[in-house]
Amino acid sequence: MCVGRRAPSRLAAAAAPIVSVLGALAAGAIVLAASGVNPLAAYGALVSEPFGSAFGWSETLVKAAPLVLTGLAVLLPARMRLWNIGAEGQLQCGAIAAAGVAVFTAAGRSPLAVPSILAAGMAAGAVWCLVPAVLRAVLAVNETITTLLMNYVALLLVDFLIYGPWQDPQGRGFPLSPVLPAPSRLPVLVPGTRIHLGVALALLAVPAVAAILTRTRWGFEIRVIGDNPDAARYAGMDLRRNIILVMAAAGALAGLAGAGEVSAVSGRLQQGLSPGYGYTGIIVAWLARLHPAATVLVAVLLGGLFLGGDALQISLHLPIAIVYMLQGLIFFFVLGGEQLARYGVCFRKRPAAAAEHRA
């Protein structure tokens, strides 16, 4: 089998993502059926829970908010051909810093508590991301692996804190930090739901990132470097500086997600703050084809999938991991679908004429 160059068909390009997702669900159904689960029942729950009611929609938005932010945290460096696989760790660090400021400083009880903890979360995420960024910019160390390894360190840092110095003295030995004081909790914006300030901030981050990319000199540099680094160098742009700035911004976005989760959703630093929002952010960015606005749509879909996964756990006693399996399948099918739409497939040997056009 080989793929040949073909004029991309507009219809194929438009249909590819939809067909890909349906293909992924079909493949997922096979796995579900093989493990003794009725796929229709499972998919029914997956759809009806997040999208079947107004409350479902609100909960989906709560899950989508961190995905928008981690999606942007992957998207922004990817625009410069950098892979930030570390949004998960940056999110955890944002949560740590937000919780730390809220619980252990006076700022956490002041009227300025909310901006303080959000700023702390963003700063911590940025700092966490700066380590791989500087290594990449100065020493050319592969940022894919380092951002990922930093995730494990961040998760262990959370464990260290909640089993150690930050453990709640009233927590009966559970690995939990003290509850964040009320002034540090992000306000709920829509009564009767859990839609909080962080959701609004995530939705504001989308046009902000889009504006950076299209309406600032910095964004101009990012787009040029991402499209053609040689042209960027030719035009006198500083590649190293941009690597560091972009990665720091990405870390700040993921850190904001972490601050939002700890302050509005869990209310304390604990394990399982994120069901893998950082990793899913990679899929969000890829499915959005690196367009900021599209992250909202993809994040709502994948946020719904997380919510549906919670429902499956309760109603069908299925593990939440099914969600990751489906996410992986969707990623596979979208990748393959994109390529098929781009190139088309031929199942025979290349004709001699095709080989002539090189050199």
Does the footprint of other proteins cover residue 236 (CB under 8 A)? yes
Does the footprint of other proteins cover residue 359 (CB under 8 A)? yes
Q: Which of residues 329-348 bind other proteins (CB under 8 A)?
A: 329, 331-332, 335-336, 338-340, 343
Among 126, 148, 199, 302, interactor with other proteins by CB under 8 A: 148
Cβ at position 349, least distance to other proteins in Å: 11
Element (H, E) at 37: none
Spatial contact of 260 and 202, defined as CB atoms under 8 Å apart: yes
Report d(CA 174, CA 117) in Å as an integer.
24
Among 12, 29, 157, 316, interactor with other proteins by CB under 8 A: 157
Report d(CA 55, CA 67) in Å as an integer.
19
Cβ at position 14, least distance to other proteins in Å: 19
Among 15, 30, 204, 235, interactor with other proteins by CB under 8 A: 235
Taking contact as CB under 8 A, which single stretch among the options 100-108, 180-188, 294-302, 323-331 is the one that binds other proteins? 323-331
Does the footprint of other proteins cover residue 51 (CB under 8 A)? no
Taking contact as CB under 8 A, which single stretch among the options 43-51, 63-71, 159-167, 296-304 is the one that binds other proteins? 159-167
Cβ at position 104, least distance to other proteins in Å: 18
Is the torsion defined by CA of 246, 252, 258, 260 positive or negative? Answer: negative
Q: How far is CA 337 from CA 7, 15, 91, 299, in A?
A: 15, 9, 31, 20
Cβ at position 16, least distance to other proteins in Å: 12
Q: Read off the amino acid at residue 256.
A: L
Q: At what angle do helices 143-163 and 113-139 cross, to 10 degrees?
A: 140
Q: Sort strands 345-346 and 2-3 into parallel, antiparallel or unpaired.
A: antiparallel
| Total residues in contact with other proteins, by rule CB under 8 A | 80
Does the footprint of other proteins cover residue 318 (CB under 8 A)? yes
Does the footprint of other proteins cover residue 215 (CB under 8 A)? yes
Report d(CA 124, CA 132) in Å as an integer.
14
N-term to C-term CA, the chain: 24
Does the footprint of other proteins cover residue 146 (CB under 8 A)? yes
Does the footprint of other proteins cover residue 156 (CB under 8 A)? yes
Among 7, 139, 173, 191, interactor with other proteins by CB under 8 A: 139
Among 41, 130, 200, 223, interactor with other proteins by CB under 8 A: 223
Among 12, 25, 29, 31, interactor with other proteins by CB under 8 A: 31
Of 106 and 352, CB closest to other proteins: 352
Q: Which of residues 69-108 bind other proteins (CB under 8 A)?
A: 83, 85
**How does DSSP assign 98-137, residue by residue?**
HHHHHHHSGGGGSTTHHHHHHHHHHHHHHHHHHHHHHHHH
Within 35-86, where are the H helices?
39-51, 54-78
Does the footprint of other proteins cover residue 135 (CB under 8 A)? yes
Of 259 and 329, CB closest to other proteins: 329
Does the footprint of other proteins cover residue 35 (CB under 8 A)? yes
Cβ at position 293, least distance to other proteins in Å: 17
Report d(CA 168, CA 159) in Å as an integer.
13
Element (H, E) at 2: strand 2-3
Tokens (6 digits) for 326 = 């489906």
Q: Which of residues 250-269 bind other proteins (CB under 8 A)?
A: none
Does the footprint of other proteins cover residue 149 (CB under 8 A)? yes
Judged on CB neighbours under 10 Å (0-12, 13-18, 19+), 105 is: middle
Taking contact as CB under 8 A, which single stretch among the options 45-53, 97-105, 293-301, 313-321 is the one that binds other proteins? 313-321
Cβ at position 125, least distance to other proteins in Å: 18
Report d(CA 96, CA 257) in Å as an integer.
12
